[in-house]
Structure 1
Amino acid sequence: MKFVRNVFSLAAVCALMFSLVGCLGSDKFEQEVSKETGAIKLVREIQRGDYDVISTAELKALLDSKAEVLVIDTMPYEASYKKEHVPGAKQFLFPIPDMDEWDVTKTDGKTQEQFVEMLGPDKDKEIVVYCGFVKCSRSHNGAAWAKKLGYTNVKRYPGGIFAWKGAKYPVGSVK
């Protein structure tokens, strides 16, 4: 009888341990679903926009090489760009939802012609567009519009200013 009780107790403890491990580990599964959702959203935006991507380390190396590159911050001027941005970046606001048609009410009153002026006449110049972080799609709109306007060497920096700061790289600001 004592043997049966010990086996039963051991089985109960094991069952409790396995159930706790399952409970503790379930959060990891939910996190993975969230990561997958974000990754698929990013890939689909890249496919729709027909641009390339660049990582934080690649952008830092590109800037350090002194290559001629136009970096565009698509975040709001006062709330974000003015406080911190990738050094040397120019600012041009784009909205978060897809902007299929140019809408000056969503670009802080700026026109398509002003965007083209910022991009310049060289359609093969390297252009990197970013916003705040991976889930933010302002950079998608900026990169997609650069491609629509005929620029061929357009990259989106999906990590944005959060990844830049997370890598402990210096930021620029407007005084």
Structure 2
Amino acid sequence: MGDSMKRVAILLSALLVVAGASYAGLFGSNKYEKEVETETSAVNLAREAASGDYLLVTTAELKAWMEDGKPMLIIDAMPLEASYNKAHIPGAKQFLFPIPDMKEWNAAETENRSLEDYQTLLGNDKEIPIVVYCGFVKCTRSHNAAIWAKKLGFNNVYRYPGGIYAWQGAGYSIASK
């Protein structure tokens, strides 16, 4: 095979790869690749929960708790103006937490609120279930909120990983300011 034939073969191969990728992009992504993404998210969530020593609650469980009138405190860990005021779970209180791991309290990352402010919001009942959430599973604001509730001595801390996206996706009502 001559050099020009090799170039044509390489060019055709490249075009086939691009066409295949375009086809996959146009008609849905590869279900096997999606499974890798799902697995990665699931394992990351499990590891975060294990490292933070908190529990997880699903959309259906949280909705059932609310319908049953279970005493609990729900914390929305997203920004006040950009998120909470637009859509939050009814009855949720807002307290911003950052996305990166918050190993030390930094008021600049919590809308200039102190650890004492968070303690005040959570109250004195260390046994009350505390449910923290943010936007969606990959968002880690709720991870930070859960960790700090545990550090303050609360025993029944739950992270609701689906957050406001899953809540809305389930068709449940939202509140706004």
Name the TM tier (shorter chain). 0.7 to 0.9
Please give the alpha-carbon distance, in whole angstroms, between the structure 1 residues aligned to 2:176 and 2:78.
Answer: 13
Query: What pairs with 1:71-90 in structure 2 (closer than 5 Å)?
Result: 71-90=74-93
- Among 162, 166, 173, which residue is 1:163 paired with? 166
- Among 63, 68, 91, which residue is 2:94 paired with? 91
Query: What pairs with 1:22-171 in structure 2 (closer than 5 Å)?
Result: 27-171=30-174
Please give the alpha-carbon distance, in whole angstroms, between the structure 1 residues aligned to 2:140 and 2:71.
Answer: 25
Deviations 1:79-129 (A, max 9, x none): 000011000000000000000100001111000000000000000111000
Amino acid at match of 2:112: G
Please give the alpha-carbon distance, in whole angstroms, between the structure 1 residues aligned to 2:152 and 2:74.
Answer: 17
How far residue 26 of structure 1 moved from its aligned partner, in angstroms, is 7.3
Change (3 A) 1:118 1:27: same
Please give the alpha-carbon distance, in whole angstroms, between the structure 2 residues aligned to 1:30 and 1:141.
Answer: 29
Task: Pick the structure with greater CA Rg.
Answer: 1
How far residue 47 of structure 1 moved from its aligned partner, in angstroms, is 0.7
Identity of aligned residues (%): 58
Amino acid at match of 2:67: D
Deviations 1:20-48 (A, max 9, x none): 9xx86971121111111111110111011
Instruction: Mark the runs of 5 or more structure 1 residues left unpaired by the alignment.
Output: 1-19
3-state SS of paired residue (2:74): strand
Please give the alpha-carbon distance, in whole angstroms, between the structure 2 residues aligned to 1:144 and 1:111.
Answer: 15
Instruction: Mark the runs of 5 or more structure 2 residues left unpaired by the alignment.
Output: 1-19
4+ runs of 1 displaced by more than 4 Å?
23-26
Q: CA-atom RMSD, angstroms? A: 1.5
Please give the alpha-carbon distance, in whole angstroms, between the structure 1 residues aligned to 2:71 and 2:91.
Answer: 11
TM-score normalised by the chain length of structure 2: 0.83
